[in-house]
A and B are shown apart, each in its own frame.
Chain A
Amino acid sequence: DTGVSQDPRHKITKRGQNVTFRCDPISEHNRLYWYRQTLGQGPEFLTYFQNEAQLEKSRLLSDRFSAERPKGSFSTLEIQRTEQGDSAMYLCASSDMRAEQYFGPGTRLTVT
């Protein structure tokens, strides 16, 4: 399967712990996006990379959220000091220079 993959698919953590999610985009795609989706809502844009450069991060929800894409391939999204309000589905997408984005299956985070 050559689609976007995300790991883990589910994560349960206690409040205050740090979590890190990984996204592997489609190999020929140079653009990578992170979104968050809560129940009953559409995905909400968080951040965007073109190759290894993070070109937009102002929409990250707080300074507890950070993302990297060190070699322009896979990306990680880290949430520090998790809170119950961080419980959501975290989606990764990738694209080439066209407009259509290809989404991964998501990582469902539950903060207890």
Chain B
Amino acid sequence: DIQMTQSPPVLSASVGDRVTLSCKASQNINKNLDWYQQKHGEAPKLLIYYTNNLQTGIPSRFSGSGSGTDYTLTISSLQPEDVATYYCYQYNSGPWTFGGGTKLELK
């Protein structure tokens, strides 16, 4: 199975900060990676698909990048409504696997 490791587990940042979340795969996943946002008590929401494609309706302050085994989600200017847990997800090879999540908090 491909292991997805997210870092840091918890991130505290201030409104307006540029925030970077990392996701590392245990093997090359050929950019077959999504990012999901889950707010407390809600279902997850697709933010970014295939590494760097913004899902319809998602604000442009969210962006993704990466290749091989290393991937990044960036929020260019953190907003209060971005407080959530973020998960990366690989679908390069089965079983499809999620990372453990990064909980983003306001400082």
Q: Do A and B bind each other?
A: no
